[in-house]
Amino acid sequence: MKRIAIEENLSDIRSALQEKGYDLVTLKNQEDANDCECCIISGQDRNVMGIMNTETKGSVIDAHGRTADEVCQEVESRFS
């Protein structure tokens, strides 16, 4: 199953992805994303300093303003 890093405060999305059987890890720092195919962020602290230097091989999905279903659909579309 695909491994996904997700920010801790996205509990509704976490629950929805767990129900679909995804392997989830809590995204606390860049190292948490290293072995993941996808990262889901809340978008609350996105690019605060105007510097974007974090690198990951997987997709990054911004969940800001989106429902759990919308995020799950995007995750599934990236893996299909």
- In tens, the pLDDT along 55-64 reads 556 788 999 9
Asked whether the predicted pLDDT for residue 53 surpasses 80, the reply is no
Asked whether the predicted pLDDT for residue 73 surpasses 80, the reply is yes
d(CA 71, CA 27): 16
DSSP letter, residue 25: E
- In tens, the pLDDT along 7-51 reads 999 999 999 999 999 999 998 877 778 888 899 999 875 544 343
**Which pLDDT belongs to residue 3?**
92
Strands (E), the chain: 3-6, 23-26, 38-41, 59-62
Spatial contact of 33 and 39, defined as CB atoms under 8 Å apart: yes
**Residue 1 vs residues 40, 50, 64: alpha-carbon distances, Å:** 16, 35, 25
Secondary structure (3-state) at 11? helix
- The mean per-residue pLDDT over the stretch 67-71 comes to 97
